[in-house]
Structure 1
C-alpha cells in the first residue's frame, strides 16, 4: 500500500561475513504497537526457499551470514504486522546478489576551505571509490550534484554567499550501492577583506632595551562579523640576508600585546572562519634607536671592510645567544642590511662587508634569553652604537638661520641642526662668523665656536645702527665644513625702552615750557592792565565809611532796597548789581557828607534849628563819585566826631533826612537805569 514501509535497502560493509544489513523507512502513521517482518526468497533454488524474520521493532535488521546464499539472487521485502498478526502493508521487493551488495563507508574527515570563489575539499579518499558531491546555497531547497574527485575544486561560487554540501561514494570496479550521505556541512561566506590595523602603540619599559607593543585591528565594513571565528597573528623577527624567525598566535580578541626588543619586526593579521581565511594585513615596526645604550658596546673601524665590536659578555645561564644587526643610517631610519646570530660566551665579533667612507652605520646588539623560535618576551637590546669607517667634513651648513631680539649692541641667532646625512662624521660643534658688512666677508677676525647641541646664540658687543652679516658652519674632527648662506641684519639706533623714555622727557619739557609761557603772558597782561586801567577802590569799604555806618541806622533803607530789587521787572545782570553797589556807596557818602555839613552849621552859627519839615538842600550827584569828593568830606568827618556824641538828637534828625535823600536818589537811579536798558534793548533780548 502507498502508506506502508518504503525505501528498502540491503547491503553489507566491509565483509559479507558480517551479514547483510537491511534498512527501510516506516509508514506515516507508524505506531509502536506495530512490528515488522523481513522476508527473503531464493527463487532460483529447487525447490524455492523462503526465510522470514519476525517481531522486528526497528527499521533496521541484519540478516546473518548463515542464512544467505551469497552468490544467488535473493528477493527481499518487509511487511507490517498488527497486534492480531495480520499483514497490513508491505514494501516493494528488491532483488540482489548478496556478495555484490557491498556499500562503502560514508566519506569521513571532510575538511573544506574557500578561496577566491572556489571550494576546496579534503577527506580520507580511496582510489577504489567514486564520489558524488551535492551542494546548494544556504536557504534554498534545490541540490546540485556533481561527480567529485579528490584533486578537483568546486568553482564559480559567490564569495559573499553561504553554502551547504554533502558527499557519498560507491565502488568503481564492481556493482555496489552508494554509501549513505554524509552530514550536511555549512560553508560560511568567504572573507575577502583584510582586517584594518590601527596605529601601533609602543612604549618603552623601565628595563632598558625592551618595549611593549600593542597591535589593534577591526573588521572591515564589508565583513560579516558572525562568520569570523578568530584571527591569526604572525610575528616575524626580521633578519637581513637570513631566514626570518616566525611565530604564530591565534586569538578571538581584536588586539594583542607583545614585549619585544628594539630590533625590527613584522606583523601580519588575518581573520578566519570554518571555511576561509581573509588576506593578511601586514605592518612593519622599524628598529628603535635608544641611544642611551651606546655605552654598552664599542665599535672600532678596521679599514673600509671590517668593524670590530666588543661588549661585556653575560654568562647567565638564561642567555642563549646574541643577534647583531647593522646597516647604514639615512635620516632617522636605520636600514638593516645584515644580521648575524652569535653563540653565548662571545665578547667580540668582526663585522665583514664593504663599508662606505663618510657614511654613518648603526650597530645593534640583542641578547636572546629563550630558544630562538620563541619571540614574545625573549629578546633584549643590550647595546646601540654609531660608527664611521672614515669621517669627512659637513657638506652643507645649517638651514633656517634667523636673527631675532635685535638691540643696539646684541642680537639672538637661531638655526636648524645640520642633518646627519650631511655631516659625514660626528659633528663636534658650530662656528659663527660675524662681519660688519658683506664687503668684508673674506675677513675672519671674529669666529665664535659653540657645542653641537646648541642651536641659538646671543651675539654681544655689536655697534648700534650697523649692518652685520652672519654665516654658520659645522665642524667634525676632520675640520670645518661648508658655510651656510649669508644672512644680514641691522642693529638699532635706540632700544625700544630708550626711545620711549626720550619721548616722555621731551613731552614733559614741552608741557612745562607751554605752562611757563602761559603764566608769563598772564602776568604780563595783569601788569599792563594795572598800568593802563588801574582799579578804583570801593569807598564803601573804607575805614571812615565803616565808622559812619556804625553810627547810622538804615535798616528800613536796606529793606526798601531789597523790595525795590525784587519788584524790578528787568532781569538783573552782573552790571546792574555793580551799579546798585555803586549807588549804595555813593548814597552812604552823600549822607555822611550832609550830616557833616549840618553839624558844622549848627556848631559854627549856634543858630536856632530849622523846622524839621524843611527839606535839606539836594546835592547833585552823578553816577560815579571821584576821590576828590571823599577828600573834601573826610576832614569834616574827623572834626565832627565829638559833636555827634553831644548832639545825638540833632544827629538822629539829620539821619532821617539823609535816609529820605538816599532813598529818593536810589529810586531815581534805578528808574533811569531801567529806561536806559529798555532803550538799548527794545526787543527785550537778554544780553549777558
Structure 2
C-alpha cells in the first residue's frame, strides 16, 4: 500500500501547472480516520488550469484501492464529482479520483484509515517489590478488542494526604510500568489509574486504591530447622525467617502456609496447612503426622492480601517413633508335599492401607508362635521378602513388624499348598504408559474361589525381592498395576486363583511397557538340502535382546533372475523349508524379525541346490537296508544260541546207548530225554516201540506159551530180517571197527492196538560212528519190511534155532551180550516154566 501511495503522489506532481505549481485537482473528505464500517463521503474538484481538462469535457472516476467506486457529478458543475462509500471496511485504503483518458489519469486522492476507539483498560494490578531497590510495578490488560489504530497509555498516581500526583507516559503497545521508590510510600494509600487514547477517542480504567506494603510480594522465606516436638508424637516444629534482603521489614504479623511430603512420596500434601497472624521469626508447629516418619517441609508468606511469595527451599525432619500399627498384605508360595519332612516357603509382604510403620527403620519377623517372646522364629528380614523351611504339618505362620519403639500385632498368614486344576484360562497385558500396565484375565467357574493374586517381576533379574504382587477379590477380571517398569525390558506377569484351602496353578505371560525392534537377528544356516527344497534353521534370540514380543520371522529369498519370495516361519520351531527351488540356481536370503515396536533385517546368506544324484539315492537306500538285514541276522543267531539245547533236541533226538545200558537199568527216568512228538513242528503219526519190565507169572499155561512163542516169532521175524539185511548185521564190517549197530521198532499205531498181520516199520542207524551219548541227537530214515527168509531173520535177531549146534548157541550168547537192547526182548525160561 505504501508503494501505491508513492506512485499516486508522483503522478499528481506531474500534472501541476508550470508557473504556479498548483495541483490539478483537490479531494476533500469528511474525515481521514473513521470508525471501521462507518460511511465515508469525498468530493473531487478539477482546477481550471489543469492541462488534462483544458478545452474539453471532463469525465471523473473514483477508485478505492484497485476497485472502481460509482460516483455522481455535482449539480451544475461538470468539473466537480462526489462519492459516498456506505461502509468503509478496510483498516487503511487510498481513495483517488482520475480524469477519463486513455488510460485514466489520477489527479487527486486521500488516505483513509479505520479502526475503533480504545477499550477500557482491565485488571489493573500493582505489586511492590521489597528487595532493594524497592519498586511498585503496575500491569493491566488492554482489552480483547483490537483498535487497529495507534493507542497510547498513560499511568496516573495520586498519593492521599500529600496531594502528590504523577503521570507516566508509556510507549505504544506497552501495558505495564514500574514506579520508582521515590514516587510512593509503603504505608500511605495511593490511587492509581490508566488512560488509553487514540484518534477516535480516550478512556480511563477503574482507579485502584492500595497501600504499597499490602501489595508487596515477599522473597521466598528461609527454613532454619525442622525437628520433632518434645514428647509430642506426630508433630514437627518449623523455625523460619524472611530473606536476608527483607529483614528490615517490621510487621506485627504475617500469613504463612506450610506444605509437607514424606521422604518416600513424590507428591506434596494437599491441601496446604494455613497459619494466620504468625509472628516474625517465631516457629510454627505442624501436627497429626505419621510417627517416626521423615518429612520434607516448605513455607511461603504474605502480608494481609498481598501476593504469596514463592515457596522456600525444602528442609527435612523426623517425627518421634512409635510401635508399628495395622496389618500387612502377604503372599506365600509353597513348594513340596506331605511326603517330605519340610516345605520350602517364599513369603512376600507389603504395607496395607491401614499399616503404619511409625519409624524409619523397620524390620520383620516370621514366627510359628502367636505370642510375643516366643523363640520359634523362622525368619528375620529388613526387606519385604523372606525364604525359609517349615515342618510339613505347619498350618500358619505369624508376621510381625518391629522398630525401636516396639512390635506390631501379628499378621496371620495361612500355609496353603498348590491345588491341581486349571482355573485361569487366558491372561492379556496392555501397556497404558511407561509406569502402568493393564492386566486382564479370563477364569473358569470354580467352587470355593475367593480371589486372585497378580504377581509381576523382571525376567532379567534373579533377585526375589524385586517381585511385586496385588490381591484382588473374586469379582475382578482386570487390574492396573503400577511400578518402575523399564522400557524394552521383559516382565513376567502371573495370575493365581485363591481358594479357601489353597492356591491354584497360575497363568503366566511376558509383557513390555514399551517395545522396539530387536537388537539382533539370529544367524540362519542351511540344515538340510534335497532335490527341490532346502531347510533353514536358526537359534532363538536371547531374551535380553528381543526388546519386545517377537511377532514373526520372515524369510526373504530370491534367485539369480531376481524373483523374490517371502515366507513366514513358525515362531516355536525356528526352522522353515523352502520348496520348489531350481537346481543349479544360486539363491540369496535374509531374515526379518519383528516386534510391535519395529523390525530388523539380518545378514544375507547364499545357497545353491545341487542336481539330483541317483547313485547317492541308491546308497542312501541300500545302506539302511543292509544295516537292517545285518541286525536281523544277528538277532536270529543270538536267539538260536540262547535256545541251542531246544534246537539240538529238535533236530537230533536223544537215544539211549544200547552198548552201555541194559533193559533192567533202562528206567522211565532214562526216557525223559527222548523228545515228545509234540515238539516237532509237523508231527507224523509215528509210534516208537516202548519196552517195559513185565512181572510174568511163574508158570504159564501151555497154550499161552505156545501162543506167545508163536506170536513172538512172527513179530520179530521182520525185525531180524531188517537188521540182517542191513549194515548192522553181525557179519557187516564198516570202516569203524568200534561201531555198534542198533535199531528202533516203529509202529503205525499204539502198540496195544497192533494187529497180528499189520506190517511194522523200523529205524536203523546208517552211521558207522560209535553210539552217541545221551546229549547227542540222531538222524533217521524209515524203512519198509524187506521180504527175506524167515529162518535167517530168526537167527539174526534171536540167535540160532533149536536145530543149531552148540557152537551156534554159544555164538548166540555172545550176540545177545553185545546187544543188551535186544537182549531185553528175551524171556527167562525159568519164568516160562
* TM-score, length of structure 1 as denominator length: 0.29
Name whichever structure is richer in helix by fraction: 1
Higher relative contact order (CA 8 A, sep 6+): 1
Name whichever structure is richer in strand by fraction: 2
